[in-house]
Amino acid sequence: MTQEDKKQLEQYYRDYREMFKVQGWNNLLSDMTQSANTLNSIEACESEKDLYFRKGQLAVIASLLNLEAQTDTLEQQLEEEEEEELEVA
């Protein structure tokens, strides 16, 4: 990974960190949690197509709800890779 790539990736993660601090992000997560609870019932599914549609909706919601943890994990991995590169050099 080039230095420019590293700078861009660091900025990318900083932008996410800033987003996670905004009240609007917390509001979105709250709304998504409520939506997930509503959608997470197969009783309202009228067809197999509806079931798969709900499954897709829940997958998108789960991705949003887990974005901060995923970002943390990716940042840690990047830091570990950089440390390994420094040790090898």
Structural domain total, the chain: 1
Distant-in-sequence, close-in-space partners of 14: CB < 8 Å, separation ≥ 6: none
Beta strands in 1-89 (DSSP E): none
Q: What is the pLDDT along the chain (89 residues), one digit of tens a residue?
A: 788 988 999 899 999 999 999 999 999 999 999 999 999 888 888 999 999 999 999 999 999 999 999 999 999 998 888 888 878 76
pTM of the predicted structure, to 2 decimals: 0.80
Q: Helix, strand or coil for residue 89?
A: coil
Domain limits for position 31:
3-88
